[in-house]
Structure 1
Amino acid sequence: MSAHTEGTPCWADAMFPDVEAAKSFYGEVLGWTFDSGSEEFGGYAQARSDGKAVAAVAPQTQGVEGPAAWNLYFATPDATATAAKIRDNGGTLAMEPMRVGEFGTMATAQEPSGAYFSVWQPDTHEGFEKTGETGAYCWAEVTTRDPAATDVFFPAVFPYETRKMDVDDVDFSVFQAGGEPVLGRLKMTEDFPPDAPPHINVHFAVDNCDAAIATVTKLGGRLIFGPMDSPFGRFATVADQQDAVFTVIDLTTTEGEMPEFT
């Protein structure tokens, strides 16, 4: 049995034009160390925090254009069946289910509003070995201009229940799997650049949000939003020096009351 419930984010990776620069950047910002990249799989290298697998980086495939971007994987017991649900519910498959050595089977898709994601049917590689702690994945949000389409799509593909945050000025919902919140959905407002595409914003936990921002900018990255205090932690959205966007959050520094969900 998979270590991750169906529909739960179970892995994250990114391809970079300069993978060695990415290793240096994330090593300093998030404290990651890296396995030697597998030549068989194009230099794909797992990142580790406290010796536990937390993500992966790889050289950008030849012929691929555009900035680097983090890609989130969702656990599935059957990648082929999930791919069919994606097609049947208005999504688009960018990559059909494909076996990845002995590690598992993956597929990559776009949900109806345009955000990319992947699904992962595990074999020897089950995914994250650490979450919700410093240096590891802790949360993600589908950030979209068409929340209605997204809100219909994801519960049709995965066994999700949806709860909407009861706040007047923010259109935000949470998808739950097995009664646990696993994914957020945020409507993009005028605060977002008009050319910003729909995307899944991956969050990594840090000890100190402001210190992480300082390190990001020192290394050639940039601050996009924040820092901001919240009941969930102090967070900021940043981009690395190759323009891959992600959020850093200090889960221990919280402010305010938890919002109500309906």
Structure 2
Amino acid sequence: MPAAPDRFPAGSPCWADLTSSDPARAREFYAGLLGWDTVDLGRASGHYLHFRHNGDVVAGMMQNSPETTFPDFWTVYLASDDAGATAGSAAAAGGQVLLDPARALDQGTVAVLGDPTGAAIGVWQPDTLRGFARIDETRAPVWYELMTNNYPAALEFYRNVFGWETAVLSDTSEFRYSTLQSNGRPVAGVMDAAEGLPEDIPSHWEIYFGHADIDAAAEQAEQLGGSVLSVPEDSDYGRMVQLADPTGAAFWLMAAPEA
């Protein structure tokens, strides 16, 4: 079973969490769909939860404030050696600092940035929590993707702020896509979605989790109160489906070998 690296290289996806208006319902949904259990980090954390699979941490969850108008959503975090410096670089590169760097107990330092195309991206400077304990298998994160309405600006921002090395996968008017390379392998993607994103949906990051049976998972998600946002389909990278949990937070499942 693929364990996560001892240290995530700076700029690579290392964590993800769900902001949910109904954490209790979310716990039931992800337990049923992905077999996750949860651990509450206590009052000092605002009752932040860790999702776990077989005892290994694979994601987090926090309460969506009733005062906000934001729908429930998943956030992807990129590793940083210095969250404060990364936030400063983001502001200088035309981004926004949506959440100033702050300590998260003894686990690390967190920040949230807005890139120049409108997508929110988290920053994680690890301490006792390096990030995901497992990746690239069923019931764990397997891929991360930025859907952007300004492809050139997005690539420039992430190269400048996070030191990305990127590789062009396709550069046609029908499909323009680059990947982030880490240790010689792709770990995230950027898609030119200018023609595909509806006007009311801004640029955003998406997360994929592994599952052994995509079609069965789509049916199960509906039985658990979620919804299927795109029908299961085959791709060059395996079968996949986009789902939403019972309160509307969207994510993908992608075929992966059983852990």
> The TM-score by the shorter chain falls in which range?
over 0.9
Query: Do 2:109 and 2:124's aligned partners in 1 also have CA atoms closer than 8 Å?
Result: yes
Q: CA deviation at 1:252?
A: 4.8
Residue in structure 1 matched with residue 137 of structure 2 by the alignment: 133
Matches within 5 A, 1:1-262: 3-166=7-170, 168=172, 169-188=174-193, 190-252=195-257
Gaps of 5+ in 2: none
Alignment RMSD (CA, Å): 1.8
| Greater mean alpha carbon deviation, residues 190-199 or residues 202-211 | 190-199
Give the aligned length.
253
Name segments (4+ residues, structure 1) moved above 2 Å. Answer: 166-169, 177-180, 189-194
Superposition TM-score, scaled by structure 1 size = 0.91
Residue 92 of structure 1 and its aligned partner are, at CA, apart by 0.5
What is the aligned partner in structure 2 of residue 260 from structure 1?
none
Q: Is the 8 A contact 1:53 1:129 kept in 2?
A: yes
TM superposition shift of 1:221: 1.8
In structure 2, relative to structure 1, the CA distance for the partners of 1:252 and 1:51 (3 Å cut) is: closer
Distance 1:173 1:148 in 2: 10
Distance 1:193-1:212 versus aligned 2 partners, 3 A rule: farther
Which AA in structure 1 matches 2:228? L
Question: What is the percent sequence identity of the aligned residues?
Answer: 34
For 1:109 and 1:140, how far apart are their aligned partners in 2? 16
CA offset at residue 161 of structure 1? Answer: 1.4
Give the Cα separation in 1 of the matches to 2:257 and 2:18.
27
Alpha-carbon distance, 1:231 to partner: 2.1
Tell me the distance in 1 between the aligned counterparts of 2:102 and 2:79.
15
C-alpha offsets along residues 59-114 of structure 1, whole Å, 9 cap, x if unaligned?
22342222110011111111111111111111100011111121111110111101
Shift of 1:153: 0.6
CA distance in 2, matches of 1:92, 1:232: 33
2:218 is paired with a residue of what secondary structure? helix
Q: Classify the secondary structure of the residue corresponding to 2:170.
A: coil
Q: Name the amino acid aligned to 2:49.
A: A
* Partners of 2:117 and 2:166 in 1: CA distance: 18
Q: Do the aligned partners of 2:150 and 2:194 also contact (CA within 8 Å) in 1?
A: no
Which amino acid in structure 1 is aligned with residue 9 of structure 2? Answer: T
